[in-house]
Structure 1
Amino acid sequence: MADPFDHAWSAADAVPGWTTREQGRALWDAVHRLAPGATVVEIGSHQGRSTIVLGHAARSVGARVVAIDPFLDGPPYGGQRTRDAFEANIAANDLGGVVELVVGYSTKLRPTWDRPADLLFIDGKHDYWTYTDDLRWSAFLPGDAEVLVHDCFSSVGVTSGTVAKVLPGSRLSYRDRVGTLARFTVTPPTRRDRLRLARELPWFARNVLVKALLRLRLRPIARLLGHHSPVDPY
């Protein structure tokens, strides 16, 4: 029997974006750990690449997805054209009854938000201030719920926010990662959880160094670090 994920990924992979197949599978599996009637909140949807995976998974378990994005004007966001592409991609996958689009800044929506959620996927603006505010959406989750963070170990803003707020914090525990898609749970962290997170930091430093080498057109040195692609790692 064909894996239903393969169908979902085939649709998602036709949409521009940065989510890899392996990360898509992690999102799919996270939704499949939810009970019927659950709500997934996605912060940062762009053209819907990850939303399609979440939506197909949610439909199969009887859950729903709330996609939050302000659709900013200008590069690299695209404004109204990106929103139009998102809505067209959701419609093409017949996910209109599963995915609810909420247009707005996550940081402005959060203070007045009054709806519970069961899974949080953070892939919004990657600066320190926005990301650390987006972490506060975990307040709408029950205990032991999962928080997935894209580019957790490849973005200076996201990684610094994780080090400043999650590593010494008492709310989220680091579990694992798929590439730089990190998985946390709403559970007070143990010392082992903190050490597990801290051990990822040298890998983050390597990713940042590779990005700098690519900007400086020093690809031969980047290859010495194991990076053989002309594009940024993760």
Structure 2
Amino acid sequence: MAPLSADLDAVIEKAWQLTLRTDGFLGENEARFLGMLAACVPARGTIVEIGSFKGKSTVMLASVAAHYGLGPVVAIDPHTSPSTTDPGIAAGSSTFEEFLASVKAAGLTEHVEIHRAYSREIAKGWNRPIRLLWIDGDHTFRGAKEDFDLFTPHLAKQGVVALHDALNAFEGPIRVFVEEILRSDRFGAAGVVQSTAWGQLRPEDGKDFRELRIRIERRARRMLPFVANGRRVQGITKMAYKLARSRVQRAPVSASEWLALVSRSGAK
């Protein structure tokens, strides 16, 4: 297991304070977890963010990446509206200027490679290895699956893909997590923190983590019928959905615990 940087806690705390000042929909536990992934994923390559909105996750990722010299964070977002994940944005408006302002206010402009475009457009010419793929764009199944399919072929071995809002009543993130990560031996360790689901690419020994993924899959799959075909979760159905969601372990995980998990040759 690779040693943790002695200043990791301080670096993430500083990044969180910058993130806290930025508008967006990212909880503290998952923001800190995202920063930890940026610092600790044991693979070489680029950090790619699909779906930047006003820059909250961008600031967390770029702050950590800048400190450790990990290169600029690639931020991909057309910044168009309307969107089911951005209900407060009026049709025809854009979040691009607010995004730029957030990155500038955090002093991170030179640490973010900005692409104001749809992810499928950037994917056409993409040829760089990815160490951390953060998917927080189109939350429909079609959109989330497209992002996953277009960019995971570039994910480096032992790299991590993370999907936001997997436990927030959107079909795309949770279905991709269950069907493409938890049910695939291409991936090793996996889990959920708050509403962020993640999996580590381990094509050579992913089967050794199968029992771990099956345990998570048995609980996570119970949420799929509630959000199938973009169904809205409301009324008594919402109560049942919340009960199913409560059975998915999603507590914060420390950097040392996470590294111990992914460093094992298998999980029992």
TM-score w.r.t. structure 1 length? 0.81
Superposition RMSD in Å: 3.2
1:163 maps to a residue whose letter is V
Give the equivalent residue in structure 1 for 2:213. 194
**Which residue of the other structure, out of 9, 16, 31, is the alignment partner of 2:23?**
16
Give the gaps of 5 or more residues in structure 2: 1-6, 246-268
Structure 1 residues 205 and 36: alpha-carbon distance in aligned structure 2, compared to 1, 3 A threshold: closer
Match of 1:61 among 51, 54, 68: 68
Q: Which moved more, 1:71-80 or 1:169-178?
A: 71-80
Measure, in 1, the Cα distance between the counterparts of 2:58 and 2:162. Answer: 13
Amino acid in the other structure paired with 1:182:
A
1: CA distance between counterparts of 2:42 and 2:106?
22
> Partners in 2 of 1:80 and 1:115 — Cα distance?
32
Q: Hey, what does 1:100 align to over in structure 2?
A: 113
Q: Indicate if the aligned counterparts of 2:19 and 2:59 stay in contact, CA closer than 8 A.
A: yes
Which residue, 71, 74, 82 being the options, matches 2:79? 71
**Stretches (4+) displaced over 4 A:** 34-38, 77-80, 205-208, 224-227
Q: 1:231 maps to which residue?
A: none
For residue 41 of structure 1, give the secondary structure of its aligned residue in structure 2: strand
1:101-134 Cα deviation digits (max 9, x unpaired)? 1111112321321222221111111111111111
Tell me if structure 2 keeps the 8 A contact 1:41–1:65: yes
Who is 2:157 aligned against? 143
Of 112, 119, 144, 2:125 maps to 112
Quick check: 1:37–1:62 contact (8 Å CA) kept in 2? Answer: no
Structure 2 Cα separation of the partners of residues 9 and 88 of structure 1: 17
Q: Per chain length, whose mean CA-contact separation is higher, i.e. which structure has more relative contact order (CA < 8 Å, sep 6+)? A: 2
In structure 2, distance between residues paired with 1:162 and 1:139: 16
Runs of 5+ unmatched residues, structure 1: 228-234
Counterpart check, 1:169 vs 2:176 = no
1:98 aligned partner, one-letter code: H
Task: Give deviations 1:192-218, integer Å, cap 9, x for gaps.
Answer: 14303313326636986xx73xx4399
Check whether the contact 1:40–1:65 (CA below 8 A) recurs between aligned residues.
Answer: yes
Taking a change above 3 Å as real, the CA distance of residues 169 and 85 of structure 1, as seen in their structure-2 partners, is: same
Deviations 1:23-58 (A, max 9, x none): 111111111115898421001000000110001000
Aligned-partner Cα distance in 2 for 1:99–1:65: 5
Q: Which amino acid aligns with 1:195?
A: I
- Alignment partner of 1:3 is 2:10: yes
Which residue in the other structure is 2:266 paired with?
A: none
Structure 1 residues 147-201: Cα deviation after superposition (integer angstroms, max 9, x where no partner): 1111223322222233333344343334221112112111133231430331332
In structure 2, what residue type is equivalent to 1:196? R
2:252 aligned partner: none
Cα distance between partner residues in 2 of 1:36 and 1:61: 14
Deviation at 1:59, TM superposition (A): 0.6
Which residue in 2 is equivalent to 1:232? none
Aligned length: 223
Question: How far apart in 1 are the matches of 2:43 and 2:186?
Answer: 25
Query: Identity of counterpart residues, as a percentage?
Result: 28
Which residue is equivalent to 1:178?
193
34-43 or 99-108, which deviates more: 34-43
Distance 1:80 1:37, change over 3 A: farther
> How far apart in 1 are the matches of 2:113 and 2:63?
13
Q: Deviations over 1:135-156 (max 9, x none)?
A: 1212112111111111223322
Shift of 1:225: 4.8
